[in-house]
């Protein structure tokens, strides 16, 4: 239970598995489908309780735990024991995507051709499929102040940080992760809890300022992130209580002067192997720059010390970069507003000619997902094809490691045998590690080798 709540179970992110397995955005996906994908995982990403990874899989399984323990579905249990006692008459978990929900707003999306319907056509409960009205949302949060359902101790537990077996907490770039599946992140110097969601065109953004006893939220049905209006309402209500300004005045940031030569020692390519993000650091016009691979976007880094820099941004976000070495390996550590550092390790980028890329071609099969991808070279780039997906393009990072154009193929690490032949690859991003694909060897090739 603790590992599921704290996102430290080592289980793959089921949404990533769903995409890799080939489900399309308009195909029905049920609780049973999600459980089957989870059940097929052959090995954990890590020993439970030793690491964190942001996944929704734990919430799917917690809904199953409720059903096993109470002999009631999550929808029936929450209705009887939570929603009805709090008079939340317009709140329910929807376990059947075909059911008609009274008074539900129809979700939509604005396109160049006009408005189009969006909808939830899955029946996965736990991480999603909770329908709620604005009035019921207020009743829910009022219960945190004057509990009718749950004890004060339980509510306090929901706002406490999750921990690993050794007591470490999970300080993400979004804030410190809490047992109640929210983040604690200061807003201009004031403590704040917050969370967001977007599924099937429905979106919610919630900001709680416990010291000011203010909760501001927006729930919408137009398939858009609506955190800005929710935060603007909070600013309007709270007024001038924030000790920090809405944006950083870099003219007041205490910096030092470094020569181009001093800056150049930090140049290079850096990789966050957990998330699969590659970055380039370079000097331009006597300023250190931060660039994202595959993008022309860049940000200036101003020096606070010879090895510490701050990114120039137009907001109140404080992004601090520290360059160091560990065991002789250059590193770049990124701290976002007090988060645990994101660790980027320097690497030598690999370049492959179209001919050299052919060594990575072929058909690869995953026993976990019972699905195949065929790799080929198109327009001088490595491309993976799946009969139910658009082509995914891969960019080389370093030897045998590529980043994918689809989020669920963050990186793939090709594997070789003793003879140096490609035998398969493993998928890796924040929610999935060690998902294996094996190269399919054609029968006639096997016969040739046997003969």
Distance CA 330, CA 352 (A): 24
Classify residue 259: in a domain, yes or no: yes
Classify residue 22: in a domain, yes or no: yes
Classify residue 244: in a domain, yes or no: no
Cβ proximity of 335 and 284 under 8 Å: no
Classify residue 436: in a domain, yes or no: yes
Distance CA 68, CA 75 (A): 13
Is 221 exposed, middle or buried (CB count within 10 Å of its CB: 0-12, 13-18, 19+)? middle
CA 247 to mean position of chain CA atoms: 26
Domain with residue 420: its CATH number is: 2.40.128.50
Distance CA 72, CA 58 (A): 19
Classify residue 243: in a domain, yes or no: no
pLDDT class of 98 with cuts at 50, 70, 90: confident
Q: What is the pLDDT of residue 294?
A: 76
Cβ within 8 Å of residue 396, ≥6 positions away: 349, 350, 351, 352, 382, 402
Number of structural domains in the chain = 3
Among the candidates 326, 347, 368, a domain finishes at 347
Whether 272 and 314 share a structural domain: yes
Q: Which of 86, 419, 410 is nearest to 274 (CA)?
A: 410
Classify residue 185: in a domain, yes or no: yes
* Segment holding 227, helix H or strand E: helix 227-238
Cβ proximity of 432 and 17 under 8 Å: yes
Q: Is 5 left (phi over 0), alpha (psi -120 to 50) or beta?
A: alpha
What are the pLDDT digits (tens) for 22-61? 998 888 999 999 999 999 999 999 999 999 998 999 999 9
Whether 342 and 373 share a structural domain: no
Average pLDDT, the chain: 93
Q: Is the pLDDT of residue 391 over 90?
A: yes
Q: Is the pLDDT of residue 8 over 60?
A: yes
Q: Is the pLDDT of residue 69 over 80?
A: yes
Whether 308 and 437 share a structural domain: no
Whether 432 and 367 share a structural domain: yes
Among the candidates 297, 313, 347, a domain finishes at 347
Whether 330 and 408 share a structural domain: no
Q: What is the pLDDT of residue 451?
A: 46
Whether 110 and 211 share a structural domain: yes
Domain with 406, as residue range(s), is: 354-450
Q: What is the CA radius of gyration of the chain?
A: 24
Cβ within 8 Å of residue 222, ≥6 positions away: 107, 108, 109, 110, 201, 203
DSSP state at residue 359: G
Q: Which of 24, 20, 29, 26 is nearest to 127 (CA)?
A: 29
| pLDDT above 70: percentage of residues in the chain | 98
Distance CA 18, CA 28 (A): 11
Sign, CA dihedral 322-327-330-333, equals: negative
| DSSP-based three-state secondary structure for 287 | strand
What are the pLDDT digits (tens) for 375-388? 999 999 999 999 99
Distance CA 201, CA 199 (A): 5
Whether 254 and 228 share a structural domain: no
Whether 299 and 362 share a structural domain: no
Distance CA 144, CA 398 (A): 50
| pLDDT above 90: percentage of residues in the chain | 84
Whether 226 and 114 share a structural domain: yes
Q: What is the pLDDT of residue 447?
A: 47
Whether 131 and 273 share a structural domain: no
What is 94-106 written as a DSSP string? -S-TTSPPTTPPP
Classify residue 330: in a domain, yes or no: yes
Among the candidates 190, 208, 238, a domain finishes at 238
Distance CA 171, CA 36 (A): 31
Classify residue 375: in a domain, yes or no: yes
Phi and psi at 418, nearest 5°, equal: -65, -25
Domain with residue 98: its CATH number is: 3.40.710.10
More confident position, 132 or 277: 132
Cβ proximity of 423 and 439 under 8 Å: yes
Q: Is the pLDDT of residue 107 over 70?
A: yes
| DSSP-based three-state secondary structure for 54 | coil
Q: What is the pLDDT of residue 450?
A: 47
Q: What is the pLDDT of residue 40?
A: 94
Q: What is the pLDDT of residue 51?
A: 95
Whether 399 and 381 share a structural domain: yes
Distance CA 400, CA 33 (A): 33
Q: Which of 43, 34, 56, 23 is nearest to 430 (CA)?
A: 56
Side-chain half-sphere of 402: how many Cα atoms within 13 Å?
25
What is 398-418 written as a DSSP string? ETTEEEESSGGGSEEEEEE-T
Whether 404 and 389 share a structural domain: yes
């Amino acid at each position: 239970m603790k590992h599921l709540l704290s996102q430290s179970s080592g289980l793959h992110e089921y949404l990533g598995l769903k995409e890799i397995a080939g489900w399309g955005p308009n195909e029905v996906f049920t609780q049973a489908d999600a459980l089957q994908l989870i059940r097929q995982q052959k090995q954990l990403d890590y020993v439970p309780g030793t690491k964190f990874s942001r996944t929704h899989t734990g919430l799917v399984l917690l809904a199953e735990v409720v059903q096993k323990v109470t002999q009631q579905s999550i929808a029936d249990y929450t209705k009887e024991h939570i929603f009805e006692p709090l008079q939340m008459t317009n709140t329910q978990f929807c376990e059947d995507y075909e059911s008609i929900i009274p008074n539900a707003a129809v979700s939509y999306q604005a396109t160049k051709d006009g408005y189009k319907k969006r909808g939830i056509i899955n029946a996965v409960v736990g991480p999603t499929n909770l329908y709620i009205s604005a009035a019921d949302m207020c009743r829910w949060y009022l219960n945190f102040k004057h509990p009718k359902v749950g004890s004060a101790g339980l509510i306090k537990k929901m706002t406490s940080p999750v921990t690993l077996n050794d007591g470490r907490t999970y300080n993400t770039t979004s804030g410190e992760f809490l047992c109640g599946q929210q983040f604690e992140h200061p807003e201009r110097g004031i403590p704040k809890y917050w969370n967001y969601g977007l599924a099937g065109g429905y979106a919610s953004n919630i900001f709680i300022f416990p010291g000011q006893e203010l909760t501001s939220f927006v729930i919408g049905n137009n398939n858009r992130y609506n955190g800005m209006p929710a935060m603007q309402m909070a600013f309007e209500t709270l007024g001038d209580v924030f000790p920090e300004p809405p944006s950083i005045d870099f003219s007041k940031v205490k910096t030092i002067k470094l020569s181009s030569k001093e800056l150049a020692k930090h140049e290079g390519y850096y990789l966050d192997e957990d998330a699969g993000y590659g970055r380039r650091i370079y000097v331009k016009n006597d300023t250190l720059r931060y660039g994202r691979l595959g993008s022309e976007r860049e940000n200036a880094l101003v020096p606070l010390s010879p090895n510490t820099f701050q990114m120039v941004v137009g907001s109140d976000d404080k992004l601090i970069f520290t360059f160091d070495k560990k065991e002789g390996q250059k590193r770049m550590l990124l701290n976002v507003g007090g988060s645990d550092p994101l660790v980027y390790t320097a690497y030598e980028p690999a370049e492959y000619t179209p001919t050299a890329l052919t060594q990575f071609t072929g058909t690869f099969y995953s026993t976990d997902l019972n699905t195949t991808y065929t790799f080929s070279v198109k327009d001088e780039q490595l491309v993976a094809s799946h009969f139910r997906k658009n082509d995914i393009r891969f960019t080389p990072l370093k030897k045998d490691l590529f980043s994918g154009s689809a989020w669920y193929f963050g990186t793939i690490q090709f594997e070789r045998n003793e003879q140096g032949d490609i035998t398969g690859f493993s998928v890796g991003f924040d929610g999935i590690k060690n998902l294996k694909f094996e190269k399919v060897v054609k029968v006639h090739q096997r016969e040739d080798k046997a003969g």
